[in-house]
Amino acid sequence: MLINQQSQEYMKCEASAEYFINNYFKIRHPFKGMVPLLLYPIQKEFINNITGDESLLTLASRQVGLTSVICGYTLWSLLFERKSIAIVCPNRLHANEVMASIHAAYDTLPQFLKLEAKEKNRYTLVLDNNSKLIITVANVNALRGLSLHTILVMDSCYIKSPFINSVLEMGIPALISNKGKIVLTSSGSVPKSEFMTLWDNPECKFKKFIIPWDSVPNRGQNFKDVMISNLGMDKWYQEYELIDNSK
């Protein structure tokens, strides 16, 4: 690619997380290796929401590619917004997988987009523009003492109480000086969890976004029948329809 073309591509990526992810962010396929992540419409809507300035609650069905899209957004934000970001996961295995995905995508970037990594390990990624990513496991002291632009909490429904309240109590002060945001996501619905309590609260000031199971292309009645057969009706409603059917 010619230098002038590289400059144009860089500006397109800087201006649009969607463009960057569609064209340069790659994910690990179990059989094909690293492949492009091509966003479908609901994922593009999610990108438009998460790149805004408002704090966000996202409730998603299982298997809609939410983690991959969040990894793509995070890498874009590090490269072009020069942000300090914390990603909080329910457990260390999940945290390691998220960081490994971001590392793998970073490694496949063309040189004209890639910034030097000043620090790169399973807990931290620091780039030459002083952007920083920290990945940690949920506990009430996980964010204490940090100064951040963005806090991303993955699978919030599966994180034990009182972590979400601690994020709101300690995370918001960490964000005030940077005018940052908190993004809480959950794949599946767990009744009476802190996340669902916040989701159902009519006074919650977070913007809300939902990703239904049938928003994924080519998912229809056959997919639903197979999953119900495998999971049972109650689990289907909880993890795909996102409602509590056990009452």
pLDDT tens digits for 18-30?
999 999 999 988 8
Q: Compute the distance between CA of residue 45 and CA of residue 211 in angstroms, rounded to an integer.
A: 10
What pLDDT score was predicted for residue 174? Answer: 61
Q: Report, as an integer, the average pLDDT of 115-136.
A: 94
Residue 143 has pLDDT above 80, yes or no: no
What pLDDT score was predicted for residue 152? Answer: 94
Q: Report, as an integer, the average pLDDT of 212-221.
A: 93
Least confident of 2-6, 27-31, 42-46, 108-112: 2-6
Sketch out the chain's domains with CATH numbers: 3-219 (3.40.50.300)
Going through the chain in order, the beta strands assigned E by DSSP cover 26-29, 33-36, 56-60, 84-89, 117-120, 124-127, 132-137, 150-153, 181-187, 207-211
Under the banding of pLDDT at 50, 70 and 90, the label for residue 4 is confident
Whole-prediction pTM: 0.92
What pLDDT score was predicted for residue 82? Answer: 92
What pLDDT score was predicted for residue 178? Answer: 55
Residue 76 has pLDDT above 80, yes or no: yes
The residues, any chain, with a CB within 8 Å of residue 229's CB and separated by 6 or more, are: none
Burial of 58 (0-12, 13-18, 19+ CB in 10 A): buried
What pLDDT score was predicted for residue 189? Answer: 86
- Please indicate whether residue 144 or residue 177 has the higher confidence score (pLDDT): 144
What pLDDT score was predicted for residue 79? Answer: 97
